[in-house]
Amino acid sequence: MTGLCVAQFKRTIVSPALAHIGLDGDAAVNLLTGTALVESGLTFVAQVVAGGTGPARGLWQMEPFTHDDIWTTFLSDARLASLRGAVLDLLSRWPSRAAQLPGNLPYACAMARLKYYRAPGPLPAADDAAGQCRYWKSNYNTSLGAGAADSTHVALFQQAIEA
């Protein structure tokens, strides 16, 4: 299975999307690039499960419930009007917000970044693949997810760092 070029993806999708919403920096860019690698291999835009597809969508494999929760309980805060406006800039008029996760890569990247932004603690260092992998597992994939903070996943975060 082949996917997108990691270096191009990082440079032309992740970095500009995060800069647009003001939540960029090397640590964030590497974390979001690594997250897409471990979640979808930069290949799948629908969650692959035994017998078909699951609810998660896009290269960051965000579930519609998580997406909607970010809008309902976080971006609805009046103090975040500037951030909300920056995220809205990334949306198109069609299809609906959550339905854009598979095809609107800058928007999906921004939403994944917001999931991390709400997590406790600072982002791991930009060059700490093991730390980024643990942070992903604790705050994005969580204890309920199928992923693991193991050597296979750490290697994907290292690939993101080196891209």
Q: What is the pTM of this model?
A: 0.96
Query: What element of type H or E holds 83?
Result: helix 81-90
Q: What is the pLDDT of residues 27-66, one digit of tens each?
A: 999 999 999 999 999 999 999 888 888 899 999 999 999 9
pLDDT for 1: 54
In this structure, of 16-30, 69-83, 96-110, 141-155, the range with the lowest mean pLDDT score is 141-155
pLDDT for 154: 98
In this structure, of 62-66, 73-77, 144-148, the range with the lowest mean pLDDT score is 144-148
- Residue 13: alpha-carbon gap to chain centroid: 11
Radius of gyration of the chain (CA): 15
pLDDT for 52: 83
Q: Do 137 and 14 touch, CB atoms closer than 8 A?
A: no
Question: Between the CA of residue 79 and those of 58, 74, 82, 120, 161, what are the distances in Å?
Answer: 28, 10, 8, 19, 33
Q: pLDDT tier at 145 (50, 70, 90 boundaries)?
A: confident
Query: What's the average model confidence in pLDDT over 101-122?
Result: 98
Residue 84 clears pLDDT 90, i.e. is over it = yes
Query: What's the average model confidence in pLDDT over 104-118?
Result: 99
Residue 107 clears pLDDT 70, i.e. is over it = yes
- Domains of the chain, by residue range, sit at 6-162
pLDDT for 51: 84
pLDDT for 97: 94
Question: Between the CA of residue 2 and those of 44, 53, 127, what are the distances in Å?
Answer: 10, 19, 25
